[in-house]
Structure 1
Amino acid sequence: MGCYLFEITAMETREAPPAHLLVKVESFSLLGTCGIDEYETTEFVAGDYKWRLIIYFNGKNCEYVSVSLAMADTSSLPANWEVNVVFNIFLYNQISGNYLSSPGRTRCFLETKSEWGISKFISKKIMSDPSNGYLVNDNIVFGAEVVVVKKDPIIECVSLNNINIHYKHDFKISDFSKLNERCFSEQFIAGGQKWKIILDPKGSGTGTDIHVSIFLNHLGLERVQACFTLATINDPNKGFIVNDCCLLIMDIHTYLGSRSLQWD
């Protein structure tokens, strides 16, 4: 069936060791002397499946080491089986104590495609230089981590009907110049949902001490925010503050929708 190889453009570094396999290859230089071009690790289990890491010391390109992940035992799997996994291959840095890792890739393992690999995992020149920390005292350590992607998603379908319903709510604030803290409107209903208007005279976030902040607070998870500069909101010539009273008029547009756990 062969190995299906792909290339990666960049490697990652992490502190945590791989979760499923570490394999130390001692007397690495003797592999070439003995004519050993590849090595298959012992079986390991991840996601209820058995796997092997295969290291191709001469790779598809003699300047690189190639690695692959293969399913080790598929005899008990049903016909037309399919296993989707995200896997990483690791190389231990014996100087820094961290791991060079291939970025996670999702691959589909099938009866006719049960081995996936990386054609250019690491160049032999970089790996063989002891100062890089990978091959030290003729020893090198590889690793693997496999996460099986289970096919049991929660399916949700959101349907928005093209019905735009407009609501307006007034919020009158007296003694505006004396406000030091947030003030809240009474709770009101719009679009079948509960809301409140919040005014923060000192501003919020990047608008602190610069703007007055106004929030439309859905009494659930979402909110809508608008801001006005203090210079504008306190300008009686523009009619925003009259007799130390501010009237906020909030226009709300809602769209009717429905949600289901399936779609056609």
Structure 2
Amino acid sequence: MAVNPAIDEAPPAHLLVKIESFSLLGTCGIDEYETREFVAGDYKLTLIIYFNGNNCEYVYVSLAMADTSSLPANREVNVVFNIFLYNQISGNYLSSPGRTRCFLETKSEWGISKFISKKILSDPSNGYLVNDNIVFGAEVFVVKKDAIIECVSLNNINIHYKHDFKISDFSKLNERFFSEQFIAGGQKWKIILDPKGSGTGTDIHVSIFLNHLATSYWFSASINSWGWPTCIELATNNDPNKGFIFNDCCLLSIDIHVQLLQTQLIKKN
């Protein structure tokens, strides 16, 4: 066996074909047999058995799309298919590994060139050819494509924005300070300052965040702010000798570089 077969107890879901008087095919010079059409996933298919395929030591079995004219231009149909061979002694089915193949108007047939060797097939003790009868089968599952394709483009634009914010009565701040809204890179942003700290900086540091984008992170729909929860220790910030607070005022200067990232979602059926 050229392929790595599996043993299935259940018959194939879509096609079973029994060939009687198998030896007469060779006697009559019949090298191949194409089954009647069967339907899988709304598509008409046939199974083709080549008794003298590309390699004369093996039987070649293929799956073909019966009518490709129904396919729209440039349309592809992806299927997972298995080829079966009935063992008339054990009552099980020898099956090829599931193969995923793409059918096009220009490529309407896929197969297994070395499905089974003629030597193994012709030995009645193996159970595949008994009383000159043989049974092939096929199982085909059409892959439904409903993928979301995201196209990402990085614009070669680096927008620089710099601005100073004066925060008065700093000692009286008990809650978060939100700066006035400003525009950088065509987007709206705010600075958030937490005088008592937040997250890992709670009660120890002053925390500062940029709402909507951070200088070293990509903005996403699920995260609209990045920042520094441990920007500066409270003791250092409030020490008048350090110069960060003067006349109860704090000067916050921001320097932002905005890199534009655009995404486009395409739903492909």
TM-score by length of structure 1 reads 0.57
Which residue of the partner structure matches residue 64 of structure 1? 58
Q: After superposition, what is the alpha-carbon deviation per residue over 1:155-177, rounded to whole angstroms, capped at 9, x for unaligned?
A: 79xxxxxxxx976xxxxxxxxxx
Residues 8, 102 of structure 1: 8 Å contact kept: no
- CA–CA distance in structure 2, aligned partners of residues 24 and 114 of structure 1: 24
Establish whether residue 133 from structure 1 lines up as the match of residue 123 from structure 2.
Answer: no
Q: After superposition, what is the alpha-carbon deviation per residue over 1:134-157, rounded to whole angstroms, capped at 9, x for unaligned?
A: 00000000000111011113679x
- CA–CA distance in structure 2, aligned partners of residues 63 and 113 of structure 1: 26
TM alignment of 1:174-253, pairs within 5 A = none
Note the residue ranges of structure 2 that are not aligned, 5 or more in a row.
151-197, 201-218, 224-262, 265-269
Query: What percentage of aligned pairs have identical amino acids?
Result: 82
- CA–CA distance in structure 1, aligned partners of residues 130 and 108 of structure 2: 33
Return the offset for 1:80. 1.8
- Given residue 81 of structure 1, which amino acid in structure 2 is its aligned partner? R
Residues 38, 44 of structure 2: 8 Å contact kept: yes
3-state SS, counterpart of residue 125 of structure 2? helix
Establish whether residue 113 from structure 1 lines up as the match of residue 107 from structure 2.
Answer: yes
Which residue of the partner structure matches residue 146 of structure 1? 140
- Given residue 12 of structure 1, which amino acid in structure 2 is its aligned partner? A
Return the offset for 1:121. 0.2
Return the offset for 1:75. 2.1
Which residue of the partner structure matches residue 34 of structure 1? 28
Number of residue pairs the alignment of both structures matches = 163
- CA–CA distance in structure 2, aligned partners of residues 55 and 131 of structure 1: 22
Which residue of the partner structure matches residue 97 of structure 2? 103
- Given residue 54 of structure 2, which amino acid in structure 1 is its aligned partner? K
- CA–CA distance in structure 2, aligned partners of residues 130 and 8 of structure 1: 19
Which residue of the partner structure matches residue 15 of structure 2? 21
The CA RMSD measured in Å over matched residues stands at 2.8
| Structure 1 residues 97 and 259: alpha-carbon distance in aligned structure 2, compared to 1, 3 A threshold | farther
**Rg larger in 1 or in 2?**
2
Which residue of the partner structure matches residue 44 of structure 1? 38
- CA–CA distance in structure 1, aligned partners of residues 108 and 222 of structure 2: 39
- Given residue 114 of structure 2, which amino acid in structure 1 is its aligned partner? K
3-state SS, counterpart of residue 68 of structure 2? coil
- CA–CA distance in structure 2, aligned partners of residues 32 and 259 of structure 1: 67
Q: After superposition, what is the alpha-carbon deviation per residue over 1:175-229, rounded to whole angstroms, capped at 9, x for unaligned?
A: xxxxxxxxxxxxxxxxxxxxxxxxxxxxxxxxxxxxxxxxxxxxxxxxxxxxxxx
- CA–CA distance in structure 1, aligned partners of residues 222 and 130 of structure 2: 59
| Structure 1 residues 8 and 152: alpha-carbon distance in aligned structure 2, compared to 1, 3 A threshold | farther
- CA–CA distance in structure 1, aligned partners of residues 222 and 95 of structure 2: 41
Residues 63, 109 of structure 2: 8 Å contact kept: yes
- CA–CA distance in structure 1, aligned partners of residues 129 and 37 of structure 2: 24
Establish whether residue 83 from structure 1 lines up as the match of residue 72 from structure 2.
Answer: no
Q: Which of 82, 86, 90 lines up with 1:92 in the alignment?
A: 86
Residues 69, 105 of structure 2: 8 Å contact kept: no
Q: After superposition, what is the alpha-carbon deviation per residue over 1:45-93, rounded to whole angstroms, capped at 9, x for unaligned?
A: 0000000000000111111000000000122221122100000000000
- CA–CA distance in structure 2, aligned partners of residues 99 and 29 of structure 1: 21
